[in-house]
Chains A and B, each alone.
Chain A
């Protein structure tokens, strides 16, 4: 089957494997990671047609023909995406295991709603867990990125 990942077409033999497995093991896109395996932590978040989904719950065979974006697509020509830059500026990570998932969810949120309230952000990011407890700075980073993107 053909998957459209980060703007390129990839032919893969996915079988019954998850999108996360195919991205990591076949395409070497390791920014998304398994944290819980059951859709609870968001460490495996990728964007499918602009919406954040759990790569661990999505079978690769569900997504041919859709536009899949991973964290690896955000940086362009050495330029970080404004959300990535805001995460650095606001110190929005510690171990950073959760960070790619948070950043992709935030990108999707800001695409849908360029000026979210703090409650909107809390609601939208509630499917991403950060065990290091960086939430407070993540909130600030998303607010800041929103400003920069507007």
Chain B
């Protein structure tokens, strides 16, 4: 079962359009919600008058800052974000009030009648501007707007740079982008006395539960979070999003449920990808080895810290790269600005950091006269070596990832020269990228299995099915480990009232973490079945195995269901847990950053039209290390998806702001890749290892896309783009500058 490409369990529903997404949810007596948002990027003395709005027929309740208690602030580590704004607004789009009405029409009519007054303040939108003396301050507690400074200190920098023959210093930037799942953020909430039920399109039901219990001062068990299948997440539905507002609104509707569906424009002000400016100073010797790297990262966190206090340190670890570098210092800063809060974006933080370190690899190689492929191969980590955190690397396959992706381009050797292109002004080039990414260091997954006397097995899991096939994967692992047919398995969850704890569905952690919890639950279930079956089969426990729903001894066997029946049991339930608790020292970054490393590589062949700057991706070949693959075709599809998703931030995605106001918050002016943008040839390969540790593969092939393409462009036409996205205009401008030199 593991290793078999079964279709997704609910494939038929998926092609019939009958999946129960949040957007379809209708509850008895349900009200419709609408959010009123700030038009100003920064203002104080906020006054909200709802008198006129309340007069609209059908309006049931309006939520404002006045309704909030002292605990109505949230954030993963820094509780700086109000459920709605209180006294102060800090970005265009910040919720100021919410309306619950009998119809969306009524809610929308009321929305325009809410009178808002505030006193505008100077605002700042760029992270490096925000840390200058005299810049507008967002939160008094953080006078220089830096809410997080993560540090990695490894080796003696001065000595290491002194040893270098050549020192390179380059800055690479990524703009604000948006996750843009086709399904928007949707949540509905209902109170029954002091019990809250929330249905929500979230990747992190237990984080939502914890946060809501803190905001409303109720026990975590009094909050029930139910998550149906998601229409995409990509990090944008991780952590806490609109749930606090929706729950606070529902507290004012006398027990009636209220549902909020965000519009596309609202999506763009709800969560974004961190804009980043990353400066790498790297020392190399003439023999092609590194001496030192100093990385300075500025992450634009937006107006509230949100998940950034966790992501900024992750970005620090992810900024070093998969190469042997004796001395490494990293300073990773999370900075407040007057933009919407930033969160995880598929390939979180690694997209920005890989863009930097893999672009600089080629800059160095070209300047030093080395082949970029060989330079990488020579310096890539192998198992047993030590990373800049001091931890020993195990099961690392960067060399293989790079080799396999290069081979996918179909050339005899990466060193084979490319014909430079045919036709007027057409030039072809080849480039590579390799990525090393941590997953969550400390997290926990639990799973529960229920076996019924009809032989069916229900797996209760809080892994969110968001298109990655998480539920199918878990069913396959259960089928294989427990020894039951796939069709006997049903999956329930997430529903925090009945499914056990899981930290989050993100960072490509589910297959490994929840997968191991399921394996543990299957182990205890089997043990139980052997104990119950041993007397019936007159065979000692160690002479038993399971197969296809039966406990099997040498010559006889008995079905799981019959074992239960013969023991007068209707059901048997068993649980399993898997957790990791690693971590690094906050002052030095030394320790263990991750249970295992995510590894991916990409190779691109591009054609550049020197007359127009237009880029065509002729071939793209991606490789990810997957350990043991549960479902090969689904894994490959996810890898393809990474590459295609990655083309967005590489070539087109950028939210453009004018004074903090997004000017392209729609899918006409903010382009995401269409079927016409995909490479003519796209290959993606999962690399497996004998040891059989299961790795996630949700992101591995994404971060290499941008640098591989930028490197291929330089190979083709000799210009270096350091600021994403790589547009035709930027290439043309760089070509002109080059020809004028």
Contacts and interface: CB of A to CB of B under 8 A. Distances in A.
B468 A91 contact: no
A99 B13 CA distance: 10
Interface in B634-666: 634, 637-638, 640-645, 666
A133 interface: yes
A87 B675 contact: no
A142 B625 CA distance: 30
Interface in A14-52: 30-38, 40-41, 43
Residues of B contacting A: mostly: loop
A41 B644 contact: no
Interface stretch (A1-9, A58-66, A108-116, A118-126): A118-126
Interface string A88-128: 11010111111110010000000000000000011101101
Contacts of A70: 17
Contacts of B23: 30, 33-34
A99 B642 CA distance: 18
B7 interface: yes
A138 B674 CA distance: 12
A131 B12 contact: no
B556 interface: no
Contacts of B21: 33, 97
Contact of A100 (B17, B641, B668, B673): B17
Most buried by B among A30, A96, A121: A96
Interface stretch (B111-119, B225-233, B361-369, B586-594): B225-233
Given A88-B11, A125-B675, A126-B676, A96 B19 contact: yes
A11 interface: no
Contacts, number: 151
B15 A93 contact: yes
B15 A95 contact: no
B182 A134 contact: no
Contacts of A40: 666-668
Contacts of A129: 182, 667, 672, 674
B15 A131 contact: no
Most buried by A among B15, B637, B674: B15
Nearest to A84: B15
Measured as residues with beta carbon below 8 angstroms from the partner, the interface class of chain A is 35 or more
Contacts of A35: 182-183, 264, 667
A136 B640 contact: yes
A98 B637 contact: no
B643 A95 contact: no
A91 B7 contact: yes
A131 B182 contact: yes
A31 B17 CA distance: 4
Given A35-B182, A97-B232, A137 B16 contact: no
Given A91-B637, A125-B675, A126-B675, A132 B467 contact: yes
Given A129-B672, A134-B640, A99 B667 contact: no
B634 A41 contact: no
Contacts of B229: 95
A72 interface: yes
B2 interface: no
Contacts of A132: 232, 467, 641, 645
Given A30-B24, A33-B183, A123-B676, A93 B14 contact: yes
A94 B467 contact: yes
B56 interface: no
Contact of A95 (B12, B232, B682): B232
Interface of A: 30-38, 40-41, 43, 70-72, 74-75, 80, 84-85, 87-89, 91, 93-100, 103, 121-123, 125-126, 128-139
Given A95-B181, A136-B637, 18 more contacts: A30-B23, A33-B231, A38-B666, A80-B12, A80-B16, A84-B16, A91-B7, A95-B183, A95-B230, A96-B14, A96-B15, A97-B182, A99-B17, A126-B676, A129-B182, A135-B640, A135-B673, A136-B682
6 contacts: A36-B264, A93-B8, A95-B230, A122-B675, A128-B674, A133-B642
For the complex of A and B, list the 6 residue pairs with the smallest distance between their C-beta atoms, beginning with the closest. Answer: A31-B17, A95-B467, A133-B644, A97-B231, A133-B641, A94-B467
